[in-house]
A and B are shown apart, each in its own frame.
Chain A
Amino acid sequence: MTDVTKDSYDVVIVGSGAGGAMAAYRLTAAGASVCMVEAGKTYDPATDTPMHLTNMEAPLRGTGTKHKSFGYFDNAVGGWELPGDPYNSDETSNFMWYRSRILGGRTNHWGRHVPRFGPSDFRSYDRDGLSPNWPFTYEDIAPWYDKTEAIMGVSGSNTGLVEHPGTPEHILQPPVKGRVTDLFVAAGARALGLPAFERHNAILTRPLGDRLACFYATPCNRGCSIGAAFQTTTSLIPLAAKTGKLTIITNAKVFQVLMGKDGKAQGVLFNDMRTGAQGRIKARAVVLAASALGSTQILFNSGGNEAAGLANSSGELGRNLTDTVGAGVTGQFPALEGRPRYDEFGASTDHYYMPWWGYEDQLAGKLNFPRGYHVEIGGGFGNGPDMGIGGLANIQGGYGAKLRDDLRRYYGSYIWLTGRGEMVANKNSYCTLDPDLKDEFGIPVLKFSFKWSDHEYNQVAHMQKTFVDIIGRLGGRVTSDVSDPKKAISTPGSIIHEAGTTRMGDDPDRSVVDTDGRTWDVDNLYVMDGGVMVTNPHKNLTLTLMALAYKNSEGLARRLSQGEL
């Protein structure tokens, strides 16, 4: 075993995604020396980003494969299956785990939908008794949302709704105008008394620092060399690097927290992904931000002789596993057939959404599921035709000259409404170390157990009814099977919003980390990724985990400067 450098660092951060990069940004700003370790390859958005290439220039016209699950040019380097890096799932769970293996982690590939959690999201126990309250309120975290949004860059409109808090006007950038599909669905929803708004996206519509405003072409998830679409590699990491305090090590997969006899973390151990050699990085404090499940696997493997792993005196490590609930319904709209063509690409991701509207009905017991969902609007002309366009031929069937006419007629006439809902953590959904399975370096890997409950199935049924109603009000034809919510619900893990397995709390018997993100059991070991989520609201969690990383990094920096560590 060899040390990476002769010196030790103030902090070693495992992971370079949303949480890890935020920690690096704040800690280096406070003067700490930071070593950031990334399991994947290095990446420079200025030179490595295929923004303007077309699918015709890609193998298989850009169609996804096991190597590129979301399409050839998508920057989601990683996958559901990685060579030499397996995981297991019990027979009935079929849990899917997407692992990113690139500098910037999953911020290279995400929806960039950044809603704030609302007041009720932090008080779930008070509302329905099904999960703990968070150890703080919305008012406590609101200033950290402000700070995070200011550096991330957020565009959109505020809803004015209490449970969907807004961003201060001096921070929020103007929204991107709606597409025909957005405006059409929004009008239909409002006609049914449902809300629809321009949503908050981590996409610049005005310059911010060195980053430019969006030019409304090229998919965000290919990477954005101008920095308009938020990635840590164009924002937080360069800012941290400017301090001269940041060291980045890539192709290094951390597998264990190095513990001292005094019960404190001394650094981390990793395997070089290219050579298999082991390495060690020493630091005064350790921050795990390797994704919820990545950090959980590291903790399970850091217990020495303790089978329960490290920082698991509560027994909660690996428990409370959630993913977002997903289901969708597609409609074909005769009124949209042959509609006027125009550049409908916009800002790549969704412009509009429907925020959850049923808080009062749930409190009043009028709904048979406890947590909400939001609605995403897909369809339209997009980035031009792709390999899926052949599906349009199924409407009329046939071949020949008429087929050519049909394609022109039906192109852009489909809209799909997608629900993204909150799952309630349950005792059947968790991960542990598999007793037998190991990665290519001999490190034990995770095994998942997972079950949806009636809370989620009933929620999906409500989604389906809502979507059918909207499609019907707009004169559309439902083309999805809506007969069974159990068939329609997403595969566990597939929405890539896993959370909760290193849960935060104010009770050391019921949580892994405290309010500051510090593990209850190891004073200088922190977790700053989605694992700390007490609940996993339908409001996409990246903004909140970044706000927590912002807050908790400042706390860690304070302790470092005060000589506590």
Chain B
Amino acid sequence: MANLNIRKPVDAAVTQPAKMFRLSRRKFIFLSAAAAVALPACHEAASPESQHFAAWPDIDIPEIDGPGYGWHFDYFELTEGGAWPRILTNPQKAQLEKLSDLILPASDTAPAPSEVGVVEFWDEWISAPYSAQARTRDLALNGLVWIENQYQKMFKTDFLSAKASDDIAFMDVWSTISRDDEDHAKIRKFFEHMRYLTLGAYYTTPQGAQDLGAVPNVPLTGDYPGPSPQAQAHLESILKDIGITL
């Protein structure tokens, strides 16, 4: 009963900044709508450390108490996203789209998150009537307000209008908050959670899996062959390096 192919969480972060990325195409309709994001007033702490960061907004987050997909459902009717109403506004979607693409930009051979439906994923996830998603909702909706405040603080501009060089400067700061920095723990968690979900959403698409080199498992005829010759040779090589034979 307990042998579940559930991927386990991995270890704590040792953060290092990454310097190079390339933004993907984005939808201009979101860009223009997002410029109108309203910013709640926030009170900043006076400590010197906090001068780099806008305060965490702690806005009221809508509670969602829908039925979800329930205990008894038909797998084949309820696919392609949950059946709950979506709550994200277009400006919020535009922010999340840009954030996802900053976290994992397109490469020469693979698309950016925005090109494989990440906005629809964010809307489904943040709108879901389940407890884990409620935690994301709190973190992400506060975080989107915080980002606007932070951009105003750092660059005197809004997030979606900022220059690429501003985005790099922001990401370098945002992604390197120390785990020892308890004053900005929520800001750090916001980054790590956004990254975690962006990567999950991205690599569960066919394009993402392909970029990872994942081999699709398809029905086989005959016995399972085990490791490929190349994988077997690699295994024997790494064992030999530590003085073990198969």
A334 and chain B: residue at smallest CB distance: B238
* B244 and A330 within 8 A (CB): no
Q: Which chain B residues border A399 with CB–CB below 8 Å? A: 17-18, 21, 102-104, 171, 175, 195
A330 touching B130, Cβ below 8 Å: no
- Assess whether A393 is in contact with B199, with CB atoms less than 8 Å apart: yes
Name the segment of A60-68, A258-266, A556-564 touching the other chain. Answer: A60-68
23 A-B contact pairs sorted by A residue (CB < 8 Å): A59-B81, A63-B132, A66-B130, A67-B68, A67-B70, A83-B71, A176-B223, A180-B231, A180-B234, A191-B243, A218-B217, A219-B5, A343-B215, A343-B218, A381-B215, A391-B10, A395-B11, A398-B16, A399-B171, A400-B21, A404-B211, A411-B212, A542-B1
- Which residue of chain A lies nearest to B224 when distances are taken between CB atoms in the complex? A216
- Chain A 116-140, CB within 8 Å of chain B: the 1/0 string? 0000000000000000000000000
Task: Indicate whether A59 sits within 8 Å of B78 (C-beta atoms), given known contacts A65-B68, A381-B214.
Answer: yes
The answer to whether B219 and A401 touch across the interface, beta carbons within 8 angstroms, is no
- B182-204 Cβ-contact flags toward A at 8 Å (1 or 0): 00000000001001111111011
Residues of A365-409 at the interface with B, using a CB-CB cut-off of 8 Å, are: 376, 378, 381-404, 407-408
Whether B241 is near chain A, meaning CB under 8 Å from some CB there, is yes
A394:B1 contact, CB within 8 angstroms: no
Question: A179 contacts B10, CB within 8 Å?
Answer: no
A391 touches B231 (CB 8 A): no
Chain B contact patch, size range: 35 or more
Residues 328-366 of A, flagged 1 when their CB comes within 8 A of B and 0 if not, give: 101010011001111111111110000000000000000
3 cross-chain pairs, A with B, having the tightest CB-CB distances, nearest first:
A111-B3, A397-B15, A177-B226
CA of A559 to CA of B3 in the docked complex: distance in angstroms? 38
Q: Which of A1-9, A50-58, A240-248, A513-521 forms contacts with chain B? A: A50-58
Asked if B204 contacts A385 (CB within 8 A), the reply is: yes
Contact A339 B231, beta carbon cutoff 8 Å = yes
Residue of B nearest to A58 (CB): B79
B82 interface contact, C-beta 8 A:
yes
In this assembly, does A87 line the interface, its C-beta being within 8 Å of a C-beta of chain B?
no
Chain A positions within 8 Å of B22 at CB level: 401
In the complex, A144 has a CB within 8 A of chain B? no
Contact residues in A for B176 (Cβ distance below 8 Å):
397
B215 to chain A, nearest CB (A): 5
Chain B CB within 8 A of A110 CB: yes
Question: Are A70 and B175 in touch, CB under 8 angstroms?
Answer: no
Closest residue on chain B to residue A376 by CB atoms: B3
The chain B residue with its CB closest to the CB of A178 is: B226
Known A-B contacts A216-B217, A497-B2; the reply to A400 vs B18 at CB < 8 A is yes
B75 CB to closest chain A CB (Å) equals 4
Tell me if B10 and A346 are in contact (CB < 8 A).
Answer: no
Question: Which A residue sits closest to B201, measured CB to CB?
Answer: A61
The answer to whether A540 touches B1, judged by C-beta atoms less than 8 angstroms apart, is yes
- A77 interface residue, CB < 8 Å from B? yes
Interface centre among B13, B81, B132, B217, by most chain A C-beta atoms within 10 angstroms, is B217
> How distant is B193 from chain A, measured CB to nearest CB, in Å?
9
Q: Given the known inter-chain contacts A215-B219, A219-B5, please indicate yes or no for A402 contacting B239, CB distance below 8 A.
A: no
8 Å CB contacts to B: which residues of A475-518?
475, 479-480, 495-497
Q: Are B3 and A350 within 8 A (Cβ)?
A: yes
B5 / chain A contacts, CB cutoff of 8 Å: 219, 348-349, 378, 382-383
User: Who on chain B is nearest to A330 by CB?
Assistant: B8
Q: Are A111 and B1 in touch, CB under 8 angstroms? A: yes
User: What's the Cα separation between A393 and B212 when bound, in Å?
Assistant: 13
**Which of A26-34, A160-168, A182-190, A459-467 contacts its partner?**
A182-190
A332 CA to B12 CA, complexed, in Å? 12
